[in-house]
Structures are given as C-alpha cells and as structure tokens.
Amino acid sequence: GRMMGSAEEVIRQHRRVSELRRLEVQKAGFAEDQQDLEFDPQDYIRPGVTEAEVIEMKASFDLLDSRGVGTLNLEDTIDSLEHLRWDRLEQEPVVIAIRACRRKGSHVDFAGFMDAMCPLLLVTEPTQESLRRTWRLLDEGRKGSINIEDIGRVVRKFGLELSAEELSDMVSFADKNGNGEITFDEFYQMMSRQG
C-alpha cells in the first residue's frame, strides 16, 4: 500500500526489537493478558477513507503495537523508529502521524492514530495503486466496468452526501464513450485529472 513502502522494512525491524522486549517482559512475569477485541473496519470508515485504507492503517498500527495492548506508547515507538534509522522516512505518513500524536500526548489508540493519518491520506496524490484499491471496492462483481448503480452503492455504504444529480454528473463526466459503463481507464483519467 501507499503508506507502507519503505516503512515496511523499518516496521518489521521495529517488530523484532519489540519482540525481544516482549520476551523480556514475559520472563519478568508482566505479560498482559490482552484478549483480541474484534476489529471491525466498518466502524472506522469515514468520507474519503476506504475500508482498504482502514485495514492498512490497522496493520501499520498493529505492527507498531508490538505488545498487542491496543495503545502505542509514543515515546517507545519513536525511540524504536529512530533506533532503526528512520530519518530517511520523515515524509512517510505513518511517521508524520506518530509525531503529530506525540505532540498531543504520550499514548495513542487506533482511533487517535487514524485521526492523525486521515488528513495525510486525503492530501496524497492519487496513485494508480490507490485508485485500483478504490476501483476494486466499486467493481464488486469484477465486471471490469462500473455503472451508476455501483457508484450509488458505494456512496451509500460510506455515507457520502451525494445527490442523484451529482452521481449522474460524475458518471457522464467519466463515461467518455457514453455507453453508461465506466472502465478502469476512464475512472483513472477522471480521478487523476488535476482540479
């Protein structure tokens, strides 16, 4: 995904460091008995953020939350990341979000982490990959094209405030050959157009 990239190896190393810490903690008998609360990405979806992105953010969060306690000790997280020479990752959304959270407090839960991440997702350039993820949500039946019903379904699912008129405008704007169906290429051109 967009967020992971070069951050992935850093997080993997972070996890190894944390794994060692966790073993030390367990030996000392402090192991927390944390039951895995059922995580439902639907609870976290908001306008401009897809379910795929929520799941990706949760994966990043869980990698950083090596003890599985549901909150990040930000001092530790930043220490680990610095220890792993993350200075070259300054521009990574995960890193920017963690710093933003640290300015507000010493710990953060997933909801707080998401609050810091979401604005960063919205300003990023739509990459072909992120558009493909969105496309997969739209083209549920894997037909290779979408129509106004598909878009309407997703709009309702994510609670976006769009009128029928705005929907049909979007479709006719994207549907270059006027057949009522939008292909991925048409969708990609519409979404990556600056404006």
Query: What are the tens digits of pLDDT across the range 84-126?
Result: 666 555 557 788 888 889 999 999 999 999 988 887 776 556 6
> For the chain, how long is the longest CA-to-CA vector?
68
Amino acid present at 64: L
Span 121-132, average pLDDT: 68
Cβ–Cβ under 8 Å, residues 108 and 19: no
Q: Length of the chain in residues, anyone?
A: 195
Tally Cβ neighbours within 10 Å of residue 94: 27
pTM to 2 decimal places: 0.46
Cβ–Cβ under 8 Å, residues 62 and 68: yes
Residue 166 pLDDT > 70: yes
Distances (CA, A) of 194 to 53, 126, 169: 22, 10, 17
Which tokens in the block code for residue 72? 């990040």
The strand pair at 145-146 and 107-109 is best described as: unpaired
Span 53-65, average pLDDT: 89
Numbers of helices and strands, H then E, in the chain: 9, 4
